[in-house]
C-alpha cells in the first residue's frame, strides 16, 4: 500500500536522521579551504571572517539539529523499498535546500539561484548560475565541486540500497558478475570500498592534471567534477579554458578517461582492483558504451568536418570530448555547442537520455536498461518470424529476464521521456527554441549540465524556468519512481486524513 502510516513516517525519520548526521560533518570540510583562502587573502576584517565561517557552520548546525530532532522518533521495524524511496526523495531535497545556505550567506547568489546551484551540485548535474567562477572566492568554488563529489558517492549508494533490490535484473546480473555476497549482506563494506576506490581515482586525476600544468586548485576542482560526472569548473569557459594550453590535448584526454571511469559501475571497479580484468571487459554495458560512443563520435565528427574541414584533429577531439561528456552525464565543455547544427545536438540529447552504467555516478536511464529494451525488440521480432508454438525465453548474457522487470524498465524509460518532454514544453513556453528546450530538459533530467544557450539568455532566466530545471534535476537523479512514491504516499495520506475527519 502507498498510504503513509505513522509507523512508516517513523521508519523514514530513522533513515533521514543518519543522512543528516553525515551531512552535518560533510559541511565542515570546505572550512579547510576557507581557512586557507583567508590566510592567502590576508583579510583581517572580523565581520568578513565571521561570515565566511558562518557560511558552512550554519548549514552544519541546521543538519545536526535535524539529526537530534529526528532522534526522538524511534522505530524497530526494518525499512522496505517504499521507505527507502521516500527517504532518498526527502534526503536529496533537504540536503539541496540546506546546501544552498553557503551561497546565500556568502552573497554569491540570490536564494532561488542558490537552491538551483545546490541541487545542481548534489545531483551531480553541473548547470550553474555563476557566470564567472574566477571572480568568486576559492572556498565557494571548491564547495560547488565538493558537493558533486559527495553526491556522486551518494548516487552509487542509492543504486545499491534502493534500485538494486533482490529480484531485479540489475541485481541478478551484477550478483553473477561480482558475487551477491559483495553487494548484500556486506553492503556497508561495499560502500566503504567504494569510498576508497573513489578517493584513489580522484587523487590520481588531481596528480595527472597537476603534472600536465594545471594549477593545483583547478586540478582539484576538475578532478572532483570529473569523477562524480558533475561538470562544475573553476573557469567560465569550462575545459575550453585549456584549449590554448601547451598540454591542452592531454588535459582533455585525461578528463575523458576519468569521466568514463566515473560512468562505469563501481561494482566492476571492485573486480578491477582485484586484478580480475576479464570481468570488466566482458561486461555487456561496457561493450554497449564503447560501441555507442564510437558510433556517435564518428557521426558527429563527419557532420562537423563537412561544415568546417579546416582542422580535422580539433574537430575530432571536440566530437569525442562532448560525446563522452554527454554519455557520462558530465557538464564539461570545450566549445560553444550553439555553433553545432541540430543533428549533432540531437545526438547529444540521445546520449544524455541513455547515460552511463548501472551503479555509476552517471545519470540517464542507464545502459543496462537500454540493453534490455534492445533485447525485448529483438525478442519480439523473433516471435513474429517463428511458429506460434516456439518457446522463447528473454535472456541477457545467459540470465533470464522476468516479465515484471521488463514492465518496470519500459515504464521507467517511458515516464522519463514523458517528464523530459513536458519539461521541454514549459521551457518552450518561456521562449526557448524547440531543440534548445529539449536539450536543456534532457540535460537537467540526465544530470548532465551541458547547455546550448547564450549566456545572455541563460543568466537572465525567469524564476519559473529555474524551478522547472531544479525539479527536473531532482526527479532525474532519483530515477522518477522514488519521487512518484513520495507524492503518491502524501496524496493517499491526505485523503485518509480527510476521511477520518
Q: pTM to 2 decimals? A: 0.90
In the predicted structure, residue 383 carries a pLDDT above the cut 80: no
Band of pLDDT at residue 307, cut at 50, 70 and 90: confident
All three cell numbers of 283: 561486461
Number of H helices, E strands in the chain: 23, 2
CB < 8 Å & 24+ apart, contacts of 164-170: 164/358, 164/359, 165/81, 167/402, 167/405, 168/405, 168/408, 169/368, 169/372, 169/396, 169/399, 169/401, 169/402, 169/405, 169/409, 170/358, 170/359, 170/368
In the predicted structure, residue 172 carries a pLDDT above the cut 90: no
Share the mean pLDDT of the chain: 86
Backbone angles phi, psi at 185, to 5 degrees: -85, 5
In the block, which residue shows the cell 546565500? 104
Q: What is the pLDDT of residue 333?
A: 95
Burial 83-108 (b: 16+ CB within 10 A, else e): bbbbbbbbbbbbbbebbbbbbbbbeb
The number of residues in the chain equals 501
* Residue 421 · residue 440 · CB < 8 Å: no
Torsion of CA 463, 448, 221, 259, to 10 degrees: 180
* Residue 288 · residue 368 · CB < 8 Å: no
Q: Which residue has the higher pLDDT, 52 or 75?
A: 52
Task: Give the model confidence (pLDDT) of 423-432 as tens digits.
Answer: 999 999 888 8
Task: Give the model confidence (pLDDT) of 178-220 as tens digits.
Answer: 555 454 445 567 777 888 889 999 999 999 999 999 999 999 9
Burial 281-308 (b: 16+ CB within 10 A, else e): eebbbbebbeebbeebbeebbebbeeee
Q: From CA 383, how far away is CA 380, in angstroms rounded?
A: 5
Q: From CA 454, how far away is CA 466, in angstroms rounded?
A: 16
Task: Give the model confidence (pLDDT) of 281-291 as tens digits.
Answer: 788 899 999 99
Q: What is the pLDDT of residue 450?
A: 94
Cis upstream peptide for 185 (omega within 30°): yes
Q: What is the pLDDT of residue 72?
A: 81
| Exposure on the CB side of residue 248, measured as CA atoms within 13 A | 15
Which of 131-140, 251-260, 393-402, 432-441 has the least mean pLDDT?
393-402
For the chain, give the longest Cα–Cα distance: 84
> What percent of the chain shows pLDDT beyond 70?
87
Scanning 71-186, the segments in alpha helix (DSSP H) are 81-98, 101-106, 111-122, 138-158, 169-178, 180-183
Mean pLDDT of 302-323: 92
Task: Give the model confidence (pLDDT) of 31-50 as tens digits.
Answer: 999 998 888 877 777 888 89
Amino acid at each position: 500500500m502507498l498510504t503513509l502510516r505513522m509507523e512508516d513516517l517513523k521508519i523514514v525519520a530513522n533513515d533521514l536522521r543518519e543522512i543528516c548526521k553525515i551531512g552535518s560533518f560533510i559541511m565542515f570540510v570546505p572550512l579547510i579551504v576557507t581557512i586557507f583562502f583567508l590566510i592567502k587573502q590576508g583579510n583581517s576584517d572580523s565581520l568578513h571572517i565571521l561570515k565566511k565561517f558562518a557560511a558552512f557552520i550554519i548549514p552544519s548546525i541546521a543538519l545536526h539539529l535535524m539529526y537530534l530532532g529526528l532522534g526522538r522518533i524511534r522505530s524497530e521495524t526494518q525499512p522496505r523499498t517504499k521507505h527507502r524511496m521516500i527517504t532518498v526523495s526527502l534526503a536529496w531535497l533537504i540536503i539541496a535546500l540546506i546546501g544552498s545556505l553557503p551561497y546565500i550567506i556568502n552573497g554569491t547568489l540570490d536564494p532561488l539561484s542558490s537552491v538551483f546551484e545546490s541541487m545542481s551540485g548534489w545531483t551531480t548535474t553541473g548547470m550553474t548560475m555563476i557566470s564567472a567562477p574566477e571572480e568568486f572566492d576559492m572556498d565557494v568554488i571548491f564547495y560547488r565541486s565538493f558537493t558533486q563529489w559527495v553526491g556522486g558517492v551518494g548516487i552509487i549508494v542509492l543504486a545499491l540500497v534502493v534500485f538494486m533490490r533482490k529480484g531485479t535484473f540489475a541485481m541478478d546480473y551484477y550478483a553473477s558478475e561480482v558475487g551477491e555476497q559483495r553487494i548484500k549482506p556486506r553492503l556497508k563494506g561495499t560502500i566503504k570500498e567504494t569510498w576508497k576506490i573513489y578517493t584513489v581515482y580522484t587523487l590520481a586525476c588531481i596528480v595527472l592534471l597537476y603534472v600536465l600544468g594545471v594549477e593545483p586548485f583547478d586540478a582539484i576542482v576538475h578532478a572532483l567534477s570529473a569523477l562524480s560526472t558533475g561538470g562544475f569548473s573553476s573557469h567560465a569557459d569550462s575545459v575550453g579554458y585549456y584549449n590554448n594550453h601547451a598540454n591542452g590535448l592531454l588535459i582533455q584526454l585525461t578528463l575523458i578517461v576519468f569521466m568514463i571511469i566515473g560512468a562505469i559501475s563501481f561494482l566492476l571497479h571492485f573486480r578491477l582492483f582485484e586484478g580480475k580484468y576479464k570481468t570488466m571487459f566482458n561486461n555487456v554495458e561496457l561493450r554497449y558504451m564503447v560501441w555507442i560512443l564510437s558510433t556517435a563520435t564518428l557521426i558527429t565528427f563527419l557532420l562537423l568536418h563537412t561544415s568546417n574541414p579546416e582542422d580535422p584533429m580539433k574537430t575530432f577531439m571536440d566530437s569525442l570530448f562532448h560525446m563522452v561528456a554527454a554519455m557520462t552525464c558530465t557538464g564539461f565543455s570545450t566549445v560553444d555547442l550553439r555553433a553545432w547544427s541540430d543533428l549533432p545536438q540531437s545526438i547529444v540529447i540521445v546520449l544524455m537520455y541513455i547515460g552511463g552504467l548501472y551503479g555509476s555516478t552517471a545519470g540517464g536511464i542507464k545502459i543496462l536498461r537500454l540493453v534490455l529494451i534492445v533485447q525485448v525488440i529483438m525478442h519480439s521480432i523473433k516471435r513474429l518470424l517463428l511458429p506460434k508454438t516456439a518457446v522463447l525465453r528473454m535472456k541477457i548474457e545467459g540470465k533470464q529476464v522476468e516479465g515484471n522487470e521488463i514492465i518496470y524498465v519500459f515504464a521507467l524509460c517511458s515516464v522519463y521521456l514523458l517528464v523530459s518532454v513536458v519539461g521541454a514544453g514549459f521551457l518552450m513556453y518561456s521562449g526557448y527554441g524547440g531543440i534548445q528546450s529539449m536539450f536543456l530538459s534532457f540535460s537537467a533530467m540526465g544530470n548532465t549540465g551541458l547547455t546550448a544557450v547564450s549566456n545572455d539568455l541563460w543568466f537572465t532566466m525567469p524564476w519559473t524556468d529555474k524551478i522547472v530545471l531544479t525539479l527536473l534535476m531532482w526527479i532525474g537523479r532519483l530515477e522518477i519512481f522514488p519521487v512518484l512514491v513520495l507524492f503518491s504516499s502524501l496524496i493517499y495520506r491526505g485523503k485518509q486524513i480527510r476521511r477520518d475527519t
